[in-house]
Chains A and B, each alone.
Chain A
Amino acid sequence: MRLHPAKQVLLHVAVVASIAALAFPIVLLLFNALKTEADIFASPMGAPTQVTWENFRHVLFGTSFAVSLRNSAVVAFSTVLLSVMVTAPAGYAVSRFKFRGRTIFSMWLLATQSFPGIIMVLGLFTVLQTYGLLNTLPGLIVMHTSFSMPFSIWLLKGYFDKIPVALEEAARIDGCTRLRSLIRIVLPLSVPGLLAVGTFSLLLSWNEFFFALVIMRDNAHYTLPVFLSRFLGSGGVVQWGPLSAAALLVSIPIFVLFLLGQRYLVSGLTGGAIK
C-alpha cells in the first residue's frame, strides 16, 4: 500500500505541529531566562533582543538555590538507591516464591497509588514527628521510596519472571544461597529493569512537590520544587526572568538523566500494560 503524497505531507506537518505545541512552553522558558525583565513583557513571545546572563547569576549567587540543589540531589539519589535495595528483593519474592497474602500484597501495592496526599501527609506527620524526622531529608527519602515502590516492584517482577529458574538452580546445587543467586545471577541479567527503576525513582523524587512543601519548614531544607514555588511569594510582583532561569536550572539535570534512562523507562512502563 502507498499513501497519497499529499496525505504524507499532511501527516508530517501534523506531527511537527504537535511536537512544537509540546515544546513551545520550554522554549519560552529558555527565552525568558535570557531576557531582561523589561524585554520579557515588551515581547512576551519573541527571542531575546539582547542576551543577558544576569538572571542566572542572580539565582546562583543571590538565592539559596545551591542549598536546595544539594537537598534535591541528596534526596533523589538516596531515593534511587533505597528504592533499588528495597524493590529488587521484594520483586524477586513476588516472582519466585509462593506465599500467603501474595495477592493482597500486590493489590495493596497497586492501591497505594490512589491514596490522597492529604490523608497520607496528615498521617505521616505523626510518624515523622514520633521519629524526629519532620523537616529532615531522611523523612522525605523514605516517603519518596514508598511512592516508587508499587511501580518498581511490579516492573522488576516482570523482568525476573523472564529469567529461567534453571539458571539459579544450577548455582544453588553448587551451594549458592537465594540471596547470592539474586545478586550474582538474577540482578546482572536485569540491568535494563534496574535502570528503569532508577530513572523512574529519580524523576519522581526530583519533581515531587506536595510532600516536600508540607514537611519542609525552612530554606535550609527546601528541595528545588519548593524553592521554585517560593519565588511566587504571596501576591506581589513575580520576577519572571530569575524565576525562568531557576526553573531551567532545576530542569536541566533531570532532563539529561532522563534522556539517558528514557529507553529503559519506556520499555519498563509499557511492558506490563501490554499483554
Chain B
Amino acid sequence: MRASMTVAPRRFDEERRAIPFLLPALAILCLVSLYPLIQGISRVFYAYRALSRQDIFVGFENFVLLFQDPIFGRAFSNSIVWVITSVGAMFLLSYGLATMLNSPYLRLRRVFRSLTLVPWALPGVVISLTWRYIFLANGPLNSFLESIGVAHTPTWLTSPDLALWTCIIANTWMGIPFVTIMLLAGLQSIDRQIIEAAAIDGASHLQTQLRVILPSIRKVVLIVLTLETIWTFNSFDIVFVLTKGGPGSASMTLPLYAYQNAFMYYQAGYGAAIGVIILAVLLVAVALYIREVLR
C-alpha cells in the first residue's frame, strides 16, 4: 500500500516537487538510453559507401540484404537454439539445485548457498577464457576423456557440429548461480504446510511440483526466464571469446555478427539492422517481464 494514502491529498504541487529528484536519472536516461536508441535505430537506413567514403541514405536496403544473407540466417537460427537450450538447461538444473538447497534435511545450507553464488561474481571474460581452456583439443576435458578410454576425442571449439554447443555449455554454467538463487528465494517463500497437505491428499511427487510448487513461485519463475532470455539473446562475451562465431559461421550469433559488421567491416547500418531484428524478437520477452514486475 502506498504510504501517502494515509495523509491528506496534496497533488497540486507533488509533480513540481518530484522533478528535482528525478532530474539526474532522467538526464542520464535521455542522454545514454533514449537518444542513442533513436540514433542507433536511425542508422539502419544508411549504408557506408567506400567510394564516396560516407554514409548515404538507402531506405530499407539493409533489411533486404539481411534476408538474402546466409550468414544472417545461420546467426538467427543459432541464436534461437542458443537461447532456448541455454535458458532451458539453466532453468532445469537450477530448479533441481534450488530444490536441494531448500531441503530441510540439508546440513550447512547457508555455506552451500553462498558457494553456489561464487561464479556469478566473476567477469564474463574470465569465465569465457576458462571454458576456452577447458575445451582445447589438448585441454583438460579431452585429457579426462582419454583417461577414461575415449579413443577419438573431439576438437570442441573448431568442430562445426560442436562449437555452438560448447558455447551453450559455458553459458548455462554461467547462468546457474543467478537462476538458482532467485528460484531458491521463491521456494523459501512457500508455506511448507501446503506441500504437506498435498502429500496427505495423495499427490505424487511430480504432481506436487507441477500443481503446487510451480504455481506458487510463478512470478519469480517468469521474471527469471524473461530476464535470462533477454540476457542470453543479447550475450556477447562467451561466443566472442570461445569461438568468434567459427568455424565459418557455425557458432555465429546475432550480437556477434552485428558487432563484426559494425566494427570490423564498417557496415554500421547493417549492424544496426541486425540490432533492430534482435530488439523485435525481444519485445515479447520484455513485455512479459514488465508485466510481471509491475504487477
Contacts and interface: CB of A to CB of B under 8 A. Distances in A.
Interface of A: 1, 3, 7-8, 11-12, 14-15, 18-19, 21-23, 25-26, 28-29, 32, 41, 43-45, 85-87, 89-90, 92-93, 96-100, 103, 105-124, 126-127, 142-143, 145-146, 149, 153-154, 161, 164-166, 169, 178-179, 182, 203, 206-207, 209-210, 214, 224-225, 228-229, 231-232, 240, 243-244, 247, 250-251, 254-255, 258-259, 262, 266, 269-270, 272-275
B57 interface: no
A32 B144 CA distance: 16
B26 to A, nearest CB: 8
6 contacts: A96-B3, A97-B18, A110-B290, A122-B271, A178-B17, A231-B129
A23 B118 contact: yes
Given A8-B105, A44-B138, A19 B28 contact: no
Nearest to B258: A118
A149 B29 contact: yes
A28 B141 CA distance: 11
Given A25-B131, A90-B24, A225 B124 contact: yes
B181 A269 contact: yes
B43 interface: yes
B130 interface: yes
Given A164-B3, A165-B4, A255-B122, A15 B134 contact: no
B25 A87 contact: yes
Interface string B123-141: 1111101110110101110
Contacts of B41: 119, 123
Interface string B95-135: 00100110101110000101111111111111101110110
Interface residues of B, number: 106
Interface of B: 2-4, 6-7, 11, 14-15, 17-22, 24-25, 28-29, 31-41, 43, 97, 100-101, 103, 105-107, 112, 114-127, 129-131, 133-134, 136, 138-140, 142-144, 173, 176-177, 181-182, 185-186, 189, 196, 217, 219-220, 223-224, 227, 230, 234, 236-237, 240-241, 255, 258-259, 262-263, 268, 271-272, 274-276, 278-279, 282-283, 285-286, 289-290, 293-294
Contacts, number: 303
A117 B236 contact: yes
B33 A22 contact: no
B130 to A, nearest CB: 4
Interface of A is mostly: helix
B129 A228 contact: yes
A149 B29 CA distance: 9
A122 B223 contact: no
A43 B147 CA distance: 11
A116 B124 contact: no
A112 to B, nearest CB: 5
Counting chain B CB atoms within 10 Å of each CB, the highest count among A32, A45, A153, A269 belongs to A45
B210 to A, nearest CB: 20
A244 to B, nearest CB: 8
Contacts of B131: 25
A188 B7 CA distance: 23
Contacts of A250: 123, 126
Contacts of A169: 7
Contact of B38 (A109, A123, A165): A123
B117 A90 contact: no
A11 B103 contact: yes
A192 B2 CA distance: 21
A106 to B, nearest CB: 6
B112 A19 contact: yes
Given A25-B134, A243-B129, 19 more contacts: A12-B107, A18-B100, A22-B173, A25-B130, A44-B142, A117-B275, A118-B278, A119-B272, A122-B36, A122-B271, A123-B36, A123-B39, A145-B28, A146-B33, A165-B7, A209-B237, A255-B118, A270-B182, A272-B293
